[in-house]
């Protein structure tokens, strides 16, 4: 798969759909499958597996890499892992069935696992 362009802001996946609280991306970038799982585990650990967590991104873009000390050419490298393409304004995680304090801290811990600038958002009643 080509690297692709990711200009502009998110027009889809930019509003809370499932939970009351969310973690919104403020910058563009790639989020690896390992980062998503690490952030999910941090949230689940903090909430003691209470409440609901929705992951709004999916890593479906394969990233390839040549092995170290290999010569130039010889085609495309092997798949190293998978990433999700994230644009500014896109929701990464949503939480529900928890208090605002717990959700804010859990999403803060999750944001430290990601290589993006993020902010906490909450649904307006």
- Could you count the other beta carbons within 10 Å of the beta carbon of residue 41? 13
Residue 41 lies in domain = 21-66+76-122
Q: Look up the pTM and report it.
A: 0.93
Which of 7-11, 19-23, 40-44, 93-97 is least confident?
A: 7-11
- pLDDT tens digits for range 65-124: 999 999 988 899 999 999 999 999 999 999 999 999 999 999 999 999 999 999 999 998
For the record, the structure tokens of 21 come out as 């609280």
CATH of the domain at 60: 3.90.1170.10
Indicate the SS3 state at residue 22: strand
Give the list of residues 6+ apart from residue 22 with CB closer than 8 angstroms, or none.
Answer: 16, 56, 91, 92, 93, 94, 95, 107, 120, 121, 122
Q: Is residue 11 part of a domain?
A: no
Q: Is residue 2 part of a domain?
A: no
Q: Is residue 8 part of a domain?
A: no
The residue-averaged pLDDT of 4-9 equals 89
DSSP 2-48: ------S--SSS-S--SSSEEEEE-S-EEEEHHHHHHHHHHHHHHTT
Q: Is residue 13 part of a domain?
A: no
Number of domains composing the chain: 1
Q: Is residue 15 part of a domain?
A: no
């Amino acid at each position: 798969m080509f690297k692709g362009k990711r200009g502009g802001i998110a027009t889809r996946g930019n509003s809370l759909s499932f939970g009351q609280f969310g973690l919104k991306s403020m910058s563009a970038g790639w989020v690896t499958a390992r980062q998503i799982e690490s952030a999910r585990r941090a949230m689940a650990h903090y909430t003691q597996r209470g409440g609901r967590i929705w992951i709004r991104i999916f890593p479906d873009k394969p990233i390839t890499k040549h092995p170290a000390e290999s010569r130039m050419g010889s085609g495309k490298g092997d798949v190293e892992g998978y990433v999700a393409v994230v644009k500014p304004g896109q929701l990464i995680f949503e939480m529900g069935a928890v208090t605002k304090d717990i959700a804010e801290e859990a999403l803060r811990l999750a944001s430290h696992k990601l290589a993006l600038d993020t902010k906490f958002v909450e649904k307006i009643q």
